[in-house]
């Protein structure tokens, strides 16, 4: 009796022994490399709808020999038994991955046998020279594609566009482009993966400061963005958006509850340190709600310094109070810019006049946003470069126009020139304190004092208009920063914890702002607050982090019995009892304030210095990590709502 295997083999041979037509042979030949020919006399078979799913089968030709199915490599003479009922596919697979005739394996072999290649890193502006094998890993290509979709905010269907498919076919032919559904699934998988990484990162950090900003869309939906700021164990400043969600309203209680729910979800409600918000009454209510929360979960200084007002927003209010004095000349320049920008023909005419006037500037006219004084500054500063060109345009003029709608006159341009000079300092100041990738807490007091000094100088100006403007701005300045009690005390301590400033700069700054007598008193108050804050940190971390400092007490005296040995032993016992008490631990803050920077440390920024010297100050470095991470502005959260550079329709903006 014949076995079942021989029956299956015989039936296979009967069904597949029919020869291929000439047309089929030509099509089969077209799938081979140019130097490979079909062997005469072989009974090739070609099933266009093969059931074999493995990728490596595309590198083989199938033929029948002695009634059995075999596979011939397309790139070399080797053949293998390939009957699925009788033979396994291990040999076929191994050969497909190692055949040196296969162009893909040739590239892999080149990477193994030859040294790595040098190439420029094109992802960064520095274009550093790097080395690598440059062997294509298809998994890396897939991850890079997902990264591109997310970072460039591309639609998922981008992978199905013919231009992109053609590019991938040329750049990496062996990469199989996934569908938009698969890409969406991969992006979601990456989102959950990064979310878990961030959750683990939050477990290792100390305290977290947050910035909050709210916004209303064109569909009248209220949104809130919550951004976390903290310094990790490597002394790197981190900025992470932890929530971007709709909220019921812009009322303070609704904002406070939404923030509390988000912090509880991430498990960091007991790590909240400060909340930076703009100067709105609803934010005061939200911060009061969060203050009650941190008192329950645990906080520093009983949550009294939780609320940090956005300095950039206060500067915005101060400057607007001042430039109202020059409203007419600003309106005239704004209308002139609008007149040019509202017509394509006028823009061409304007560019032609710029060339004829030999004005070497690549700047272009820009509108301002009424609620952003810095955009008004940019508009005026740019228009000032083309003041000669505006005089050559036929700007609308007539008796029916209001005074602020007339073309700018020479006196207006002179006022704008001085106004730009006046506002430049505030513009640069706003840029410095609005950063979110470097610490700004240690710059706050210095920038406020710098603004105060600018206003004092302009208050003595001979120009009565600018003098009035400085006086108006000074009143608004005093409203928010004239009294020390109105400012968050962490801003003072942050400057003290800057190794380039310490207590000396704090005292000099307060003396310049408030006079010698009051300034000295305020400096002493700041120092007293810093010591009380340090004491609070010492109680939190002393038991587990203060090392045994017995060897540092300079008491390594011979243990041999002799005169005074009992007294020395008692001294050591008293010293041990002092460990962990304020009399022992406060000396760490004293030591920091009295230490001098070396020449090589003068160029280091605050984070770099603490990263290298933090181990010398066991408790103080924890205090510095929390305070230096405080952001002074809400720009980090506001930027999440910015649509600059994006092309979205109004209902998705």
The residue whose two tokens read 């702002």 is 513
d(CA 561, CA 538): 37
Is pLDDT larger for residue 476 or for residue 645?
Answer: 476
CB 286 within 8 A of CB 252: yes
Which range has the worst mean pLDDT, 233-247, 272-286, 425-439, 566-580? 566-580
**Most distant CA pair in the chain, distance:** 120
Is pLDDT larger for residue 40 or for residue 1?
Answer: 40
Work out whether strand 272-277 and strand 307-309 pair parallel, antiparallel, or are unpaired. parallel
- pLDDT-based confidence at residue 515 (cuts at 50, 70, 90): confident
Average pLDDT over residues 69-86: 85
- pLDDT-based confidence at residue 133 (cuts at 50, 70, 90): low
CB 90 within 8 A of CB 35: no
Q: What is the pLDDT of residue 650?
A: 44
Is pLDDT larger for residue 273 or for residue 352?
Answer: 273
Q: What is the pLDDT of residue 371?
A: 66
- pLDDT-based confidence at residue 51 (cuts at 50, 70, 90): low
Instruction: Specify the CATH number for 209-310; select among 3.30.750, 1.10.287, 3.30.420, 2.60.120.
Output: 3.30.420
> Hey, is 266 helix, strand or coil?
helix
Torsion of CA 320, 321, 324, 326, to 10 degrees: -90
Average pLDDT over residues 33-54: 76
Q: State the CB neighbour count (10 A cutoff) for residue 492.
A: 24
Contacts of 237 by beta carbon, 8 Å cutoff, 6+ apart: 229, 230, 231, 437, 438, 439, 607, 629
Most trustworthy range by pLDDT among 8-12, 18-22, 441-445:
441-445
pLDDT of residue 560 exceeding 50, the answer is no
CB 208 within 8 A of CB 585: no
- pLDDT-based confidence at residue 558 (cuts at 50, 70, 90): very low
HSE-CB of 399 using CA atoms within 13 angstroms: 0
Please spell the DSSP secondary structure of 453-484, one letter per residue.
HHHHHHHT-S-HHHHHHHHHHHHHHHHHHSSG
Structure tokens at 456: 């004092």
CB 253 within 8 A of CB 289: yes
Check the CA dihedral 6-11-15-17 and report its sign: positive
pLDDT of residue 259 exceeding 70, the answer is yes
Is pLDDT larger for residue 30 or for residue 619?
Answer: 619
pLDDT of residue 397 exceeding 70, the answer is yes
Could you tell me the end-to-end alpha-carbon distance of the chain, in angstroms, rounded to an integer? 78
Average pLDDT over residues 20-35: 80
Structure tokens at 351: 């560019």
Q: What is the pLDDT of residue 543?
A: 59
pLDDT of residue 112 exceeding 60, the answer is no
Contacts of 406 by beta carbon, 8 Å cutoff, 6+ apart: 332, 397
Q: Which regions of the chain carry the CATH code 3.30.420?
A: 209-310
pLDDT of residue 352 exceeding 50, the answer is yes
d(CA 575, CA 569): 10
**Helices (H), strands (E): how many in the chain?**
26, 11
Structure tokens at 592: 């920091």
Q: Quick one: which H or E segment has residue 440?
A: none
Q: What is the pLDDT of residue 104?
A: 77
Work out whether strand 68-73 and strand 60-65 pair parallel, antiparallel, or are unpaired. antiparallel
Of 210, 285, 277, which Cα lies nearest the Cα of 251? 285
Q: State the CB neighbour count (10 A cutoff) for residue 529.
A: 17
Is pLDDT larger for residue 2 or for residue 358?
Answer: 358
5-44 CB burial, b ≥16 within 10 A, e <16? eeeebeebbeeeeeeeeeeeeeebeeeeeeebebeeeebb
CB 467 within 8 A of CB 459: yes
d(CA 529, CA 522): 10
Of 422, 447, 260, 411, which Cα lies nearest the Cα of 333? 411
Of 161, 106, 167, which Cα lies nearest the Cα of 136? 106
Contacts of 563 by beta carbon, 8 Å cutoff, 6+ apart: none
The residue whose two tokens read 């003068």 is 602
Q: What is the pLDDT of residue 258?
A: 93
Which range has the worst mean pLDDT, 236-245, 248-257, 594-603? 594-603
Average pLDDT over residues 541-563: 45
Average pLDDT over residues 134-152: 86
Per residue in 167-195, pLDDT (tens digit) is 998 888 888 899 999 999 999 999 999 99
Average pLDDT over residues 514-518: 88
Structure tokens at 147: 């990264």
């Amino acid at each position: 009796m014949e076995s079942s295997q021989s029956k299956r083999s015989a039936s296979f041979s009967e069904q597949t022994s029919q020869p291929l037509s000439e047309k089929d042979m030509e099509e089969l030949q077209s799938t081979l490399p140019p130097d490979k020919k079909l062997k005469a006399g072989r009974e090739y078979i070609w099933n266009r709808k093969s059931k074999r799913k493995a990728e490596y089968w595309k590198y083989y030709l199938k033929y029948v020999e002695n009634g059995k199915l075999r596979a011939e490599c397309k790139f070399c003479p080797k053949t293998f038994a390939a009957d699925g009922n009788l033979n396994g596919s291990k040999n076929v697979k191994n050969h497909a991955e190692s055949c040196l005739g296969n162009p893909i394996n040739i590239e892999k072999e080149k990477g193994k046998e030859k040294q790595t290649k040098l190439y420029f890193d094109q992802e960064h502006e520095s274009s550093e020279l790097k080395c690598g094998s440059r062997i294509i890993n298809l998994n890396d290509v897939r991850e890079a594609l997902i990264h591109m979709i997310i970072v460039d905010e591309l639609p998922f269907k981008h992978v199905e566009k013919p231009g992109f498919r053609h590019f991938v076919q040329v750049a990496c032919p062996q990469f199989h482009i996934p569908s938009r559904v698969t890409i969406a699934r991969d992006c979601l998988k990456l989102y959950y993966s990064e979310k878990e990484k961030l959750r683990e990162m939050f477990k290792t950090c100390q305290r977290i400061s947050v910035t909050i900003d709210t916004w209303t869309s064109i569909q009248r939906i209220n949104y809130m963005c919550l951004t976390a700021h903290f310094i990790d164990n490597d002394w790197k400043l981190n900025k992470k958006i932890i929530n971007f969600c709709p909220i019921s309203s812009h009322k303070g209680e609704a904002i406070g509850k939404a923030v509390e729910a988000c912090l509880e979800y991430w498990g960091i409600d007991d790590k909240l340190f400060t909340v930076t918000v703009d100067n709105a009454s609803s934010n005061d209510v939200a911060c009061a709600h969060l203050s009650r929360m941190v008192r329950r979960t645990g906080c520093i200084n009983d949550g009294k310094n939780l609320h940090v007002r956005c300095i950039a927003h206060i500067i915005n209010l101060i400057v607007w109070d001042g430039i109202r004095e020059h409203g007419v000349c600003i309106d005239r320049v704004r209308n002139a810019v609008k007149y040019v920008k509202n017509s394509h023909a006028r823009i061409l005419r304007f560019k032609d006049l710029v060339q004829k006037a030999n004005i070497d500037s690549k700047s272009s006219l820009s509108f301002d946003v009424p609620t952003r004084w810095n955009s008004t500054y940019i508009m005026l500063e740019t228009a000032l470069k083309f003041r000669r060109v505006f005089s050559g345009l036929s700007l609308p003029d007539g008796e029916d126009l209001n005074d602020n709608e007339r073309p700018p006159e020479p006196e207006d341009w002179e006022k704008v020139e001085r106004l730009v000079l006046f506002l430049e300092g505030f513009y640069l100041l706003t840029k410095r304190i609005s950063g979110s990738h470097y610490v700004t807490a240690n710059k706050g007091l210095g920038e406020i004092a710098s603004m105060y000094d600018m206003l004092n100088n302009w208050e003595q100006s001979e120009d009565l208009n600018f003098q009035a403007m400085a006086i108006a701005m000074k009143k608004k300045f005093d409203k928010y920063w004239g009294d020390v009690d109105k400012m968050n005390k962490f801003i003072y301590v942050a400057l003290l914890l800057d190794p380039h400033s310490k207590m000396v700069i704090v005292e000099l700054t307060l003396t310049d702002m408030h006079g010698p007598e009051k300034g000295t008193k305020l400096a002493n108050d700041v120092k007293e607050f810093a010591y009380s804050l340090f004491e609070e940190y010492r109680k939190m971390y002393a038991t587990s982090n203060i090392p045994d400092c017995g060897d540092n007490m300079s008491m390594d005296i011979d243990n041999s019995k002799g005169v005074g040995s009992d007294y020395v032993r008692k001294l050591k016992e008293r010293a041990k009892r002092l460990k962990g008490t304020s009399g022992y631990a406060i000396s760490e803050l004293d030591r920091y304030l009295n230490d001098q920077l070396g020449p090589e440390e003068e160029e280091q920024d605050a984070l770099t210095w603490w990263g290298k010297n933090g181990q010398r100050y066991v408790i103080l470095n924890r205090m510095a990590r929390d305070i230096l991470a405080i952001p002074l502005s809400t720009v980090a959260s506001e930027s999440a709502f910015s649509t600059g550079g994006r092309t979205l329709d109004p209902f998705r903006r």
